[in-house]
Structure 1
């Protein structure tokens, strides 16, 4: 694509400001030292806090599960003990009944002693069961069992033996019934304990769920907080580097966050001030040298004109040709010096916008009409595709942008070609495209096409090389409006797109 007569990446011109004090920021960098936490330490702290939150939830969950498991083991052990003691009481009751009946039939003292031993064992079993089943209803069954056992002992002392046997039968029947009731009570007690364990398990499950969700929420909150706190200064650093890359030195660099990022921000601020000073020196140098060159260049040009007019005497053909070449080159050099001065003026004034409602479509038509002689000389067609559109812009500066794009497109377009200017308004703002049918921009020139004074590899045949400042002015004015100017890929010719958002 053509290295259109334009260039960009404008830098705000620092017109004769006093050079910034570049040493103070660097002194602050050194004085800042290692105060506060570094980026790495902040990351470690964030990971530690998140790990503590998740680890605390996991530890609490483990404690809760261990507590439930302990209760389950205790309930299982208690159930086994109750079952064993109830069975033992039933066995002791059967042994007591057998010994009592044998004693009443055989009248053997050893059988009575065996009865007493079984009775004592039954009382010990009841004591163990009382500890395992402390419910009042169970205690009443134990009291009733004891009374029935006393009644059985009294029956063993009665005479005659036949009457004693008759008295024993209902007593032991009652004891067996009480044993069955104790078995039922034991089963109910075990069921209640099982239900209690299940209820505790459910409560712990809800507690663990809440802890896990809370830990996740805390971890996410910590992650977002630390991420925002750490990424915000990185974003500011990125913006600051972008501004420095675009030669925009008007905004100070202020970066917060961890200590190492703050030190980096101070270093960038020092660099900004240093670059601003250099830019100011460059601007003054270009302006002064341009003015210094204009006066002798005008004298040379005037002298060549006097020689050409024969003021110093008639010239031979060869002398006239030399004078013509001298005059043409001095005129070309003077135009380049004037272009340079014009660029400095436009660059310094491009950031000062005077926004007023402007009919952009009418502005496009007016710019095309002002350049009519230029594009008609090459038999070009210039088509304006613009619906009615009014926007708050600086009409004069936007006119400069459109004129530069159009002149650039005409310069590189072949004779009889077509140049299109397309206006597309939408809710976000407006887009203006300039499309020509020229040779386009060489791939290796694309990244530098907006650089000031850059001359591309592809030039218009037979045309004077441009100064390379037009496109830089175009992009600088577009950026001053909050927009941009880009070179879009195209199969043929150059396709420049200006995007300007609505004024806010």
Structure 2
């Protein structure tokens, strides 16, 4: 495997590599532009030369005809010299034009007509002279048409060349730009793939689900270093999680034995097995029994929280919500006798983990009983809303301060308000609710409703397993 350089080197290298096709395209464009300029210069020069030769030929044929006709009227040596000069100038102009046009037939005919006209001194018949001059004029007119045709053909050829060059330029542009885009995508993919892998590792670390993929061998050095740090963080978090769960498990378990002895001792004392107790001793015994009960509740909560931490994957099944609510309310029947509990279940079946959902119900109902106003109803409402199962547990009482909501679902965080049952809470109930909801990919929050003072809302997405 080829080891990539740093992220900066990879970025600069990809940028330079992507520029190579664009530089080639620019070079080809400049080359084609130079060819077009050279072609335009040559064609313009050709047209100017041919048009100039044609104009000189038109002027020479006019001078030739005028001088010969003058000689036919005034037969002097001076006029003959002028006519000879006109013949020479016409012959030179015709020869230059014929070389530029390459029209052999017209040029040969014009040369023969000039040969006939060169004996103008011997021509006595005016009609014959007129015929010679008319033939020369027609040949010149034909040459003019040939000039126009030649210019049109050269323009057409030039246009065809430009069209071909334009098509080649368009094809080259499309090909080179495509190659440049492919190189850009390739370079970006060399960065995106390691970044996506980092995102995958972060998700695994955040949710503690599955094993981490092996370290990358083909990625920028900076991203490999980040990946190594994430692997180290994953191992470290695993160690800390193991220490935490072990601590909770052993602490809760080890506390059970001395707690049982203390409870047994309190029971013996309260039954006067070791002798009668006076009033101060009974008061101390009642305080000791209450503290023992509080400690037993704390241990049970710690064990429950430890069990929750060990459950990494929820078992989502089709759950009878009404049955779970009835079972939960049955467990709290004595505490709810004085409260007019209102239960509303719109959806009989929801998709959830039965154990986790039951823990949510237990803790929210327990919280409502402990903090709700005595003699006021508690509302338990379950319904469906846009593929989400919603559980609302609401009670009347003192509202929760807004500044306390942010830390309300953290472990070992207790509310400031006193409980109705005079039991000091452990601060784990609502954190267990939040963790259970999170394991089912849902959440819990405090919401405002118009029929109660405090309402906890648990939202669970509904997806079949």
TM range, normalised to the smaller chain? 0.7 to 0.9
Kindly provide the CA deviation profile for residues 376-397 of structure 1, in whole angstroms up to 9, marking residues without a partner as x. Answer: 34x1423223224354x44333
The residue that corresponds to 2:156 in the other structure is: 195
Gaps of 5+ in 2: none
The residue that corresponds to 1:3 in the other structure is: none
The residue that corresponds to 1:20 in the other structure is: none
Give the 5 Å matches for 1:175-214. 175-214=136-175
The residue that corresponds to 1:386 in the other structure is: 346
The one of 459, 471, 496 equivalent to 2:457 is: 496
Tell me the distance in 1 between the aligned counterparts of 2:88 and 2:320. Answer: 116
The residue that corresponds to 1:408 in the other structure is: 367
Specify the SS of the correspondent of 2:267.
Answer: helix
Provide the aligned C-alpha RMSD in A.
3.4
Instruction: Tell me the CA shift for residue 148 of structure 1.
Output: 0.9
Tell me the distance in 1 between the aligned counterparts of 2:416 and 2:94. Answer: 110
Kindly provide the CA deviation profile for residues 317-341 of structure 1, in whole angstroms up to 9, marking residues without a partner as x. Answer: 2232222112211221122122212
Alignment of 1:314 with 2:276, yes or no, is: yes
Aligned 8 A contact 1:411 1:460 in 2: yes
Instruction: Tell me the CA shift for residue 36 of structure 1.
Output: 0.9
The one of 70, 87, 101 equivalent to 1:133 is: 101
The one of 85, 88, 97 equivalent to 2:65 is: 97
The residue that corresponds to 1:470 in the other structure is: 429
Distance change in 2, residues 1:357/1:243 (3 Å): same
Gaps of 5+ in 1: 1-31
Distance change in 2, residues 1:371/1:123 (3 Å): farther
Distance change in 2, residues 1:318/1:405 (3 Å): same
Could you tell which deviates more after superposition, 327-336 or 359-368? 359-368
Q: Using CA pairs below 8 Å that are at least 6 residues apart, which structure has the higher relative contact order?
A: 1
| Count of aligned positions | 458
Specify the SS of the correspondent of 2:277.
Answer: coil
The residue that corresponds to 1:84 in the other structure is: 52
Could you tell which deviates more after superposition, 187-196 or 118-127? 118-127
The residue that corresponds to 1:51 in the other structure is: 19
Tell me the distance in 2 between the aligned counterparts of 1:254 and 1:440. Answer: 51
The one of 381, 390, 393 equivalent to 1:421 is: 381
Tell me the distance in 2 between the aligned counterparts of 1:352 and 1:231. Answer: 30
Aligned 8 A contact 1:351 1:480 in 2: yes
Instruction: Tell me the CA shift for residue 422 of structure 1.
Output: 1.9
The one of 211, 230, 233 equivalent to 2:191 is: 230
Aligned 8 A contact 1:236 1:255 in 2: no
Give the 5 Å matches for 1:141-152. 141-152=106-117
Aligned 8 A contact 1:343 1:469 in 2: yes
Specify the SS of the correspondent of 1:436.
Answer: strand
The residue that corresponds to 2:266 in the other structure is: 304
Specify the SS of the correspondent of 2:118.
Answer: helix
Instruction: Tell me the CA shift for residue 82 of structure 1.
Output: 1.4
Kindly provide the CA deviation profile for residues 456-491 of structure 1, in whole angstroms up to 9, marking residues without a partner as x. Answer: 55564665343233344444444444x222325436
Distance change in 2, residues 1:77/1:364 (3 Å): farther
Distance change in 2, residues 1:214/1:464 (3 Å): farther
Tell me the distance in 1 between the aligned counterparts of 2:335 and 2:179. Answer: 69
Give the 5 Å matches for 1:448-467. 448-457=407-416, 460=419, 463-467=422-426
The TM-score with structure 1 as length reference comes to: 0.78
Kindly provide the CA deviation profile for residues 154-208 of structure 1, in whole angstroms up to 9, marking residues without a partner as x. Answer: 344x2xx523x54332222222222222222222322333334344444444544
The residue that corresponds to 1:325 in the other structure is: 287
Tell me the distance in 1 between the aligned counterparts of 2:445 and 2:282. Answer: 45
Tell me the distance in 2 between the aligned counterparts of 1:81 and 1:312. Answer: 140
Alignment of 1:251 with 2:211, yes or no, is: yes
Tell me the distance in 1 between the aligned counterparts of 2:93 and 2:284. Answer: 138
Instruction: Tell me the CA shift for residue 83 of structure 1.
Output: 1.0
Alignment of 1:487 with 2:445, yes or no, is: yes
The residue that corresponds to 1:336 in the other structure is: 298
Distance change in 2, residues 1:179/1:226 (3 Å): same
Specify the SS of the correspondent of 2:344.
Answer: strand
The TM-score with structure 2 as length reference comes to: 0.84
The residue that corresponds to 1:72 in the other structure is: 40
Aligned 8 A contact 1:486 1:496 in 2: yes
The residue that corresponds to 1:351 in the other structure is: 312
Kindly provide the CA deviation profile for residues 23-56 of structure 1, in whole angstroms up to 9, marking residues without a partner as x. Answer: xxxxxxxxx9x94133333332343344344444
